[in-house]
Amino acid sequence: MTRKNSRVVSLFGLPISNVSMERAVASIESRIRSGGSYQIATANLDFVRNARRNPELHRVICECAMVLPDGFPLVWASRLMKRPLHERVAGSDLTVELAKLSAEKGYGIFLLGSTDENAQDSMRVLSERFPGVNFVGHYAPPPRPLDQMDNTEILHRIHAANPHILLVAFGNPKQEFWIHRNMDKLRVPVAIGIGGTLEMVAGAKKRAPRWIQAVNLEWAYRMMQEPMRLIPRYWHDIVALVRYLPREVLAQRLQWKRAEDGAIRLDTQRGQVTAHVRGALTGSLCREVRDLVTDAIRRGENVTVDLAEATQLNADGLGCLLDARRTLQNRGLDFYIVSPNGAVRRILDASALQSMLHDQTHPQRSPAVSAKEFREETLPQVDRLSA
């Protein structure tokens, strides 16, 4: 099983896109041209910790079109799971690459969040580096709780600028919730949460030298610049890593060591296709799941995956199930997992994905609200988590 075959890898219950920086930028450009609207997250260990504390945030991240691995701990965890990611795709590096893409192709970029000074300095720095980069606007709204923000004013400015790419620098989880909540109103092809990237691009905070990044010690360099803020955060992140990773690795190890080759048997009736998985859900079987989802969307069918005879559910297999769930639900179709055996159930429990389990005789969407309804709800925990 090579990493090239793993399009999505599940880590800590999040569907991490297994892409290089070059491929990530190409995928973003493809989405710009597709005519749809997409949310992209750049996840690090802090995302993991916040998502495990807040199931609503977990759901939002799982519904993103791409979740990029911004943070070496995710790359390291993928190696322990024996499904290694291509590389770290940091949000700060991605912002620079998108500025380069804008200079080459003319795509409009709007900067939302941080401060006016940081936004203006970032635009100046990137314009000097990539002449012709198309910044169509920026806005730093007054810092307020999510449910007290003047979204009418924010959306008016974005609509007037008509960008292809919206970069939101509110910090996690506020930026993820804000994008998800307003996605239907943004009318922007791609919206990406970038955290504190503008501060680094503007020079308000220094980026670690390349050699420090190469040895994966950028976190230590940042901590020396902001010890009072980052030492507590990194401590809590380490605690989360120690709490969640061993359990997930152990659940993987407790599966059958030499699983039989996987196979899928399909049963279709009355607008519902059931995929009965036998053996290991990994590798080429993940491609079969993706093909199954494509066919189900074309026919307007809901999908159930029966894991009663599955002997292994590896990180790439769980990743493809998360990807299938997101793709189908975004098309208004339902996705269920039923009858996992003990070893497979442990994987789902360790990944905090119990909500994917459903009784086949009484299926219902979980949580029992649509994505659009969810975006309109008040999310009272956001500002507490952002602290």
367 prior amide bond cis, ω within 30: yes
If pLDDT is split at 50, 70 and 90, which confidence band does 374 have? very low
* Separation of alpha carbons 370 and 74, rounded Å: 30
The pLDDT score that the predictor gives to residue 284 is 85
Count Cα neighbours of 252 within 13 Å in the Cβ-side half-sphere: 25
Q: What angle do CA 19, 22, 28 make, to 5 degrees?
A: 80
Cβ(36)–Cβ(188) under 8 Å? no
> Which of 44-48, 176-180, 237-241 shows the lowest mean pLDDT across its residues?
237-241
pLDDT digits (tens, 9 = 90+) for 150-179: 999 999 999 999 999 999 999 999 999 999
Cis peptide preceding 173, ω within 30 of 0: yes
pLDDT of 380 reads: 41
Q: Is 265 helix (H, G, I), strand (E, B) or coil?
A: strand
Over residues 207-219, mean pLDDT = 65
Query: What domains can be seen in the chain, in order of their start residue?
Result: 3-244 (no CATH), 263-356 (3.30.750.24)
